[in-house]
Amino acid sequence: MSRWPHEHHEPFNSPGANLLFEHYCEEPGCKKWGGFGNSPSPSVPARWWCWEHFPQKTYEQEQTLRRKLGAAESEETTQ
């Protein structure tokens, strides 16, 4: 089973926000939202990182996400 990182656009309104209330990137000194989680097994609590520090990403995942982020940024700048 692959663990595709999920994004939190509205962390305080998402279902389960009471369970995952705050999980910022665990990289020391990093204040970004930890939207990318990974855990080795269901019994282990997930750890969270921002995309920049997410250790499990593959080259394909990074390329796909970069395209998505680039598209979102261009949408914002045109509105």
Contacting residues for 48 by C-beta, under 8 A, at least 6 apart: 23, 24, 25, 26, 34, 35, 36, 37
CB of 54 to Zn ion, least distance (A): 8
Q: How far is the CB of 79 from Zn ion (least distance, A)?
A: 28
Cβ proximity to Zn ion, 4 vs 25, nearer residue: 25
What sign results for the dihedral spanned by CA atoms 20, 26, 31, 32?
negative
Residue number, 9 or 31, with CB nearest to Zn ion: 31
Residues that bind Zn ion (CB under 5 A): 25, 27, 30, 32, 50, 53
Q: C-beta of 27: minimal distance to Zn ion in Å?
A: 4
What's the distance, Cα to Cα, between the start and end of the chain in Å?
38
